[in-house]
Amino acid sequence: MPTHTDPSSTDSPKIIVISHLNKWFGEFHVLKDINLAVDKGEKLVICGPSGSGKSTLIRCINRLEKHQQGQIIVDGIELTNDVKHIDQVRREVGMLFQNFNLFPHMTVLENLTLSPVWIRKMPLKEARELAFHYLERVKIPELADKYPGQCSGGQQQRVAIARCLCMNPKVMLFDEPTSALDPEMIKEVLDVMIDLANSGMTMLCVTHEMGFARTVADRVVFMDGGEIVEENDPENFFNHPQSERTVLFLSQIISHEFKG
């Protein structure tokens, strides 16, 4: 079975390099001079208030959003208008969405095998084996023949994770993967994510799950108003925040967590 760490390509430890990234939606300046580099195997948690541009930032990394200025290099490939580069990058980068986005007209198994078969030209038999391997890893092999509409939210998100893994990505992007879920389901998804993190996957997570950030993250990035306000290791980020804005944000998050 495929492993996620590929020793042959460890020449540069930085798998994502973003420099002087600027993006506008019309007149609106969403991302302001973002500089960020991510090591191979690093787990990055991005947090910040609503509308701060977190989703936009990670969506730029696989070109679901187009940036206007600056440079994004993923595993040595620069993202430009060149379709070939975009394709290459998308093969290396998997993405998870807040509302799962499974293909509702196919069974779970078909959701998992479709992309390997059509994009990676894998024989169907091999693709099925791979699919079952990852379904077992996310602990729901019994759902293979169900339709997404018949699965709970937490199960759907785990299927989505398995679907990503079937494409053998080097980096995974998570855009608030648990925020559409009920509390009991959050844990089952987070468990899978923690397992993934322990296997050495490079992960960029936009999330408000501070517990997850504390245990898993190598680094926490705090964004506000389209800027990176602060980045630090979780220990210092939570216990000794540098910026006033971070302090305010953390106090709100933590008071919310206590209430909830």
Ligand X SMILES: Nc1ncnc2c1ncn2[C@@H]1O[C@H](COP(=O)(O)OP(=O)(O)OP(=O)(O)O)[C@@H](O)[C@H]1O
Where along the sequence are the contacts to other proteins (CB under 8 A)?
62, 64, 87, 90-91, 93-95, 97, 99, 101-105, 114-115, 118-119, 121, 123-124, 147, 149-150, 160, 163-164, 167
Q: Minimum Å distance from CB 29 to other proteins?
A: 23
Decide if 45 contacts 205 (C-beta within 8 A).
yes
Interface with Mg ion, residue 113, by CB under 5 A: no
Give 247's contacts (C-beta < 8 A, 6+ positions apart): 241
Q: Minimum Å distance from CB 79 to ligand X?
A: 17
Q: Minimum Å distance from CB 208 to ligand X?
A: 8
Return the number of other C-beta atoms located less than 10 Å from residue 248's C-beta.
13
Select the span of 52-60, 106-114, 156-164, 196-204 touching Mg ion (CB under 5 A): 52-60
Interface with ligand X, residue 62, by CB under 6 A: no
Q: How far apart (Å, rounded) are the C-alpha atoms in residues 120 and 37?
A: 28
Interface with ligand X, residue 51, by CB under 6 A: yes
Q: Minimum Å distance from CB 3 to Mg ion?
A: 31
Q: Which does 30 bind (CB under 5 to 8 A by kind): ligand X, Mg ion, other proteins, none?
A: ligand X
Select the span of 52-60, 113-121, 186-194, 237-245 touching ligand X (CB under 6 A): 52-60
Interacting residue with Mg ion among 31, 41, 55, 58 (CB under 5 A): 55
Shorter beta-carbon distance to other proteins: residue 144 or 167:
167
Residue 198 burial (10 A CB sphere; 0-12, 13-18, 19+): exposed
Q: How far apart (Å, rounded) are the C-alpha atoms in residues 92 and 40?
A: 12
Return the number of other C-beta atoms located less than 10 Å from residue 252's C-beta.
11
Interface with ligand X, residue 27, by CB under 6 A: no
Select the span of 24-32, 69-77, 121-129, 164-172 touching ligand X (CB under 6 A): 24-32
Tabulate helix, strand, coil % of the chain (nearest 5): 45, 25, 35
Interface with ligand X, residue 169, by CB under 6 A: no
Interface with ligand X, residue 252, by CB under 6 A: no
Residue with the closest Cβ to ligand X?
55
Closest CA to 209 of 185, 190, 237: 190
Q: How far apart (Å, rounded) are the C-alpha atoms in residues 233 and 38?
A: 13
Shorter beta-carbon distance to other proteins: residue 6 or 257:
6
Task: Please report how the helices 124-137 and 153-166 are oriented relative to each other, as an axis angle in degrees rounded to 10.
Answer: 130
Q: How far apart (Å, rounded) are the C-alpha atoms in residues 76 and 226?
A: 25
Q: How far apart (Å, rounded) are the C-alpha atoms in residues 124 and 259?
A: 49
Contacts with ligand X by CB under 6 A lie at: 25, 28, 30, 48, 50-56
Residues of the shown chain interacting with Mg ion in the complex, contacts defined by CB under 5 A:
55
